[in-house]
Amino acid sequence: MKHSMLALTVLALVSGCSLAPQYQQPAAPVAVAWPGPAGSVDANRLPIELQWQTFFADPVLRELIEVALQNNRDLRVAALNAEATRALYRVQRSAAAPQLSADAAGSRSRTPAALNPAGGAAESSQYSATLGISWEVDLFGRLASLSEQALQEYLASDAARRSVQISLIAGVANSWLTLQADQALLYVTRETLETYEKSLGITQRSFDAGVASTLELTQARIAVETARSSLAYYTRLVSQDRNALVRLLGEDLPARAMVSRVLNEPLLANLPVGLPSELLANRPDVLEAEHQLRAANASIGAARAAFFPSIGLTGAAGSASTDLSGLFDGGSGYWSFSPSISLPVFSAGRLSASLDAAEIRKDMRIAAYEGAIQTAFQEVADGLAARETYVQQVQAQGDLLATSENYYRIAERRYRAGVDSYLVLLDAQRQLFGAQQQLIVDRLSQLTSEVTLFKALGGGWQGSETVQAKR
């Protein structure tokens, strides 16, 4: 028995070596700085920690995001999936520990006289209480590699959960901003329709008096019907925007969320520029791809270990007796120790094919990781390019709106004075309506591009947030 315990101790000390290749993070296949002026800032400057509660300045929007984080079903599924993979990791981790079991059994039988060589019927009883142990000695690290693979898959699923969360935050923000923009467009359309209807009334009276022509009256009616069509269109959009927001929230939309906001108000905080591209490694989708790569790397160790012998140790100790009352009496104890070793000899290429598949999966994960970084770099670069141009575009559109308003006032005065025809006034009305609509659309595009950039940067930097799993 002493020799058996010594053998267990030696095997425990030497077990657990890993045959997995040493992990090396692939080099990021992108530039160290962003293209354009945003990439010219010192790349060694550390970014501030920006949370979504800080980025979204509007209190109603922050409240909606909090509601969505509590109730959204897609996020709930992602969280449950992370919990499920964590449980699977715990299952795999337990395989490396000795398994103990306690068993108790009893039997009583009667043998008829015809079957008893000694003659006469006989009754026999047997009772036992056993404590058993079984342990696979992980001499070549197969179980350790499988445990590491399960851990990395859990970490990847948790990163996927955070990706869903960031997408949800951005989705709620963009849906709310779209709702505000469509409500603003609906309001502008109502005002424009009222203006067109007044012009139609004036033109109708002028036509009845023989001053306006049939063409002018027809054009006034066309303008009114066009505005009515736009009114129905934006009414439908507002309703659909509300439905989309309800879907994200997971519950009905509160009344205060329907209160219109002026898109020119400061609804979002400023994002820092000049950040190094190394920050892309903190994006949850990039982290997910790296954890999947680490899992594939660990699976190679398990595939390599399958070529080597597997060692199992099984032991039992307990007490047995023919009488239940004498089960634990002196002299009733027994023990057994059964080591085993299994060496694969011939598998028709199954083990080699498994190793090849594991190495190919790793190559695939490397390509997926590099692709995730390239996608992230493009998204951030596009967001920075949009930031640089939308400010100029919105400013130019605001100037165009001011000019269109002045043009409309001049055209109206000249038409009332009989200097210009109704065509000039109608053109001024259309120009003003189009400029009002375009300014709202451009401002919405500017805001949503900032939200998209926020999402592309990982939804804020949580440098202190790490996922710790109990090893």
Percentage of residues in the chain with pLDDT exceeding 70? 88
Whether residue 363 lies inside any domain: the answer is no
Q: Give 319's strand partners.
A: 129, 333
At 98, which amino acid appears? P
CA distance 244 to 172: 9
Instruction: State whether residue 312 is helix, strand or coil.
Output: strand
Q: Please report, in angstroms and rounded to a whole number, the separation of the first and last CA atoms in the chain.
A: 32
Exposed, middle or buried: residue 304 (CB in 10 Å: 0-12, 13-18, 19+)?
Answer: buried
- How many folded domains does the chain comprise? 1
Whether residue 322 lies inside any domain: the answer is no
Phi-psi region of 106 (alpha: psi -120 to 50; beta: other; left: phi over 0): beta
pLDDT tens readout for residues 342-386? 888 888 888 899 899 999 999 999 999 999 999 988 888 888 888
State which residues form the domain around 272.
Answer: 16-95+139-308+374-456
What pLDDT does 98 receive? 87
Whether residue 333 lies inside any domain: the answer is no
Other C-beta atoms closer than 10 Å to the C-beta of 107 total 9
Lowest mean pLDDT among 13-22, 200-209, 318-327: 13-22
Whether residue 331 lies inside any domain: the answer is no
Whether residue 325 lies inside any domain: the answer is no
Check pLDDT > 50 for residue 4. no
CA distance 183 to 200: 25
Alpha helices in 306-421 (DSSP H): 350-416
211-233: average pLDDT: 90
CA distance 470 to 147: 12
15-35: average pLDDT: 76
15-44: average pLDDT: 68
pLDDT tens readout for residues 423-437? 888 889 899 999 999
Whether residue 341 lies inside any domain: the answer is no
**Which residue did the predictor score with more confidence, 127 or 232?**
232
> Which CATH number do you get for residue 243?
1.20.1600.10
Check pLDDT > 50 for residue 310. yes
Contact 362, 300 (CB under 8 A): yes
Whether residue 267 lies inside any domain: the answer is yes
What pLDDT does 463 receive? 38
398-421: average pLDDT: 89
Residues 6+ apart with CB under 8 A from 398: 439
What pLDDT does 332 receive? 79
Exposed, middle or buried: residue 434 (CB in 10 Å: 0-12, 13-18, 19+)?
Answer: middle
Residues 6+ apart with CB under 8 A from 328: 129, 319
**Which residue did the predictor score with more confidence, 296 or 253?**
296
Whether residue 184 lies inside any domain: the answer is yes
Check pLDDT > 50 for residue 91. yes
Question: What's the pLDDT band for 24 if we cut at 50, 70, 90?
Answer: confident
What pLDDT does 421 receive? 79
pLDDT tens readout for residues 234-248? 999 999 999 999 999
What letters, b where the CB count within 10 A reaches 16 and e where it falls short, cover 39-73? beeeeeeebeebebeebbebebbbebbebbbeebe
**Which residue did the predictor score with more confidence, 128 or 44?**
128
